[in-house]
Chains A and B, each alone.
Chain A
Amino acid sequence: MSTETLTKKDAFKIYLLRLADDRLILGQRMSEWCGHGPVLEEDLALANMALDLIGHASSLYAYAAEIEGEGHDEDYFAYFRDDYEFTNLQLCELPNDDFAFTIARQFLFSSFSYYQYEQLKDSKDEQFSGMINKHLKEIKYHLRHSRDWVLKLGDGTDESHKKIQEAFDELWMYVGELFFTDGVNEMMLAEGNGADLLSFKEEWKKLVEDTFTEATLTVPDWDQFMMKGSRGGMHTEHLGLMLAQMQFLRRSHPDADWQ
């Protein structure tokens, strides 16, 4: 969408959907661990974080629906859109693989979210900043959890070190997109409701690098090839397969209710 035709309302909705899509898709991925965690404590931790992320998505979608004003609700955005309409980071949709991969992905996302939310929490829109402040408290626990595990696995056994290093190497081409900005971000920033991603990029990199050093891991090349396009609806093959599973029941029985 060109910025010439973008209204403030459109920008806000798109912005909320991007935030929500990241969290729904990652939350859905994390929920796949439920009943499969390596130990009971981690099973609970991963399921709890999935619940938090889906909760964040739910409130962001509900607000997007309110701003859009076309009678949609949060379920509409989650269940009745196709893969090309989702604008989540490709990082969030990647299959869980093993525990190390899940933790590595979670660390990259949580640390990025932390800085992003630290800026968003002072947004002018009160309803928006209210929910952001709430999510931020929970994100801090996610960051603490995943960082602890990066340290344990990196500075653990030869096998755990190898696995978490390989996970980061594999994930690296998906981190470039974290800092993607376009007219939507600019318009939100101008309205006092956005996060200036580039302003904290160096700080975020430092947190990642310091954690890697402590975990005896090697930081992959920041200048390597990076994937792009997800904020415009371009995804890996994994998203469609995941949505098929996530959405089929709702689409088969669109009026089904919990009552």
Chain B
Amino acid sequence: MSTKTIHTEEQIWEFIREVTDPEIPVLNIIEMGIARGVEISETGKVLIRITPTYSGCPAMNAIEKMVKEKLEEKNIEDFEVKLDFSEAWTTDWMTEEAKAKLKDYGIAPPEKTVSDDDFLKSLSGTKIVPCPFCDSFETELQSQFGSTACKSQYFCNSCHQPFEHFKCI
């Protein structure tokens, strides 16, 4: 019987940094704010908590599988990947670096969430989102929903490009 290597939390974080979002491959699941926590038990068992971005996100199963495969690839046998619903995911968990990468990828990044107290009053207004390609503010909302639940669709009237905006939730 081989002796079991006990990994540190830092090592595990480094491993899961290699797991990218299947829908947005320029971001890893730490930058996305999907990986919420790593714990190592006394026996060396690795517990990873992940949270879905949207309730019905079809990428969630894929991400869970990719995390498991990554751990197996690193020869970790004793682990558990747990879905954590205790705190609702927010785009505020995305790092500034991640938002810059999103913009480079052609997706207008989410801005900081604002207090929801005025939600009902805000129903009539539309938000101005700058174009990720030419930075113009001459853009218009085409649809609240885009190719995935987390994105809405805009059109830039300056460079005449359609683009997606990562919804701010």
Measuring CB to CB, which residues of chain A are less than 8 angstroms from any residue of chain B?
41-42, 44-45, 48-49, 51-56, 58-59, 126-127, 130-131, 133-138, 140-141, 143-145, 147-148, 207
Contacts and interface: CB of A to CB of B under 8 A. Distances in A.
B56 A145 contact: no
Chain B interface, DSSP helix/strand/loop, else mixed: loop
A134 B88 contact: yes
B44 interface: no
A145 B57 contact: no
B55 A130 contact: no
A136 B54 CA distance: 11
Interface in B11-67: 52, 54-58
A131 B83 CA distance: 12
Give the interface centre of B55, B87, B143 by most chain A CB atoms within 10 Å: B55
Interface string B116-133: 100110010000000000
A82 to B, nearest CB: 25
A145 B85 contact: no
Contacts of B52: 55
B94 to A, nearest CB: 15
B86 A59 contact: no
Contact of B89 (A45, A53, A127, A134): A134
A134 B58 CA distance: 16
Interface stretch (B74-82, B99-107, B145-153): B145-153
A141 B52 CA distance: 17
A45 B86 contact: no
B144 A52 contact: no
Give the interface centre of A42, A131, A135, A137 by most chain B CB atoms within 10 Å: A137
B144 A141 contact: yes
Given A55-B54, A56-B55, A127-B85, A145 B145 contact: yes
B167 A133 contact: no
5 closest Cβ contacts across the A-B interface?
A55-B56, A55-B55, A51-B56, A41-B143, A134-B88
Given A52-B149, A53-B56, 7 more contacts: A127-B85, A130-B86, A135-B55, A138-B54, A141-B144, A147-B123, A148-B144
10 contacts: A51-B149, A52-B54, A55-B55, A127-B85, A127-B86, A134-B88, A138-B55, A144-B123, A144-B144, A145-B145
Give the interface centre of A44, A56, A126 by most chain B CB atoms within 10 Å: A44
Nearest to B91: A137
A45 to B, nearest CB: 4
B98 interface: no
Contact of B146 (A44, A51, A130, A135): A44
Contacts of B95: none
Given A48-B145, A48-B149, A144-B144, A137 B88 contact: yes
B169 interface: yes
A121 B142 CA distance: 31
A59 B85 contact: yes
B119 A44 contact: no
A44 B58 contact: no
A138 B90 CA distance: 11
Give the interface centre of A45, A53, A143 by most chain B CB atoms within 10 Å: A45
B50 to A, nearest CB: 14
B55 A141 contact: no
Given A51-B149, A54-B56, A134 B85 contact: yes
Nearest to B116: A140
Give the interface centre of B52, B56, B57, B169 by most chain A CB atoms within 10 Å: B56
B54 A131 contact: no
Nearest to A207: B120
Given A59-B85, A140-B119, A143-B123, A44 B56 contact: no
Contact of A141 (B56, B58, B148, B167): B167
